[in-house]
Amino acid sequence: MIERIDTSARVSKIVKHNGVAYLCGQVGEGTTVAAQTRDCLSSVDALLTKAGSSRDQMLQVVIWLADMADFAEMNEVWDAWVPTGQAPARACGEAKLARPTLKVEIIVTAAC
């Protein structure tokens, strides 16, 4: 069975299937990549809770940065947020994001 949570015509914020929660990409507010990353991760926390999951149950994370020059600044926030010993498989790349003001987008897959 597939469960869709917070679904609109375009996207579901969460899709659950066979004990796995797939979160839609999260972006954040702020003028720096650190501020946007913190805001993204706050949204991830809320969605993981809504999905019946948590940071400890993350399986994979994909992070898109508008500029790889922001990699270290993003990682500083990420490293403080991710549970010690529970880091998911992760990829990070550079991409043109949906709006010019966006600096980071985070996509999470987690067990639930």
CATH code where residue 95 lies: 3.30.1330.40
Q: How confident is the model at residue 93 (pLDDT cuts 50, 70, 90)?
A: very high
Residue with tokens 């917070």: 6
Predicted local confidence at residue 40, as pLDDT:
98
Predicted local confidence at residue 65, as pLDDT:
98
Stretch 21-44: mean pLDDT: 98
**How is residue 20 written in tokens?**
């796995």
Predicted local confidence at residue 46, as pLDDT:
98
Stretch 34-42: mean pLDDT: 98
**What's the chain's average pLDDT?**
98
Q: Is 96 helix (H, G, I), strand (E, B) or coil?
A: coil
pTM for the predicted model, two decimal places: 0.96
**Number of domains within the chain:** 1
Stretch 56-74: mean pLDDT: 98
Burial tier of 93 (Cβ tally within 10 Å: 0-12, 13-18, 19+): exposed
**How is residue 34 written in tokens?**
């650190």
Predicted local confidence at residue 82, as pLDDT:
98
Predicted local confidence at residue 72, as pLDDT:
98
Segments forming the whole domain that contains residue 75: 2-111
Contact yes or no for 43/72 (Cβ under 8 A):
no
Q: For residue 7, what are the contacts with CB-CB under 8 A and spacing of at least 6? A: 13
**How is residue 48 written in tokens?**
């993981």
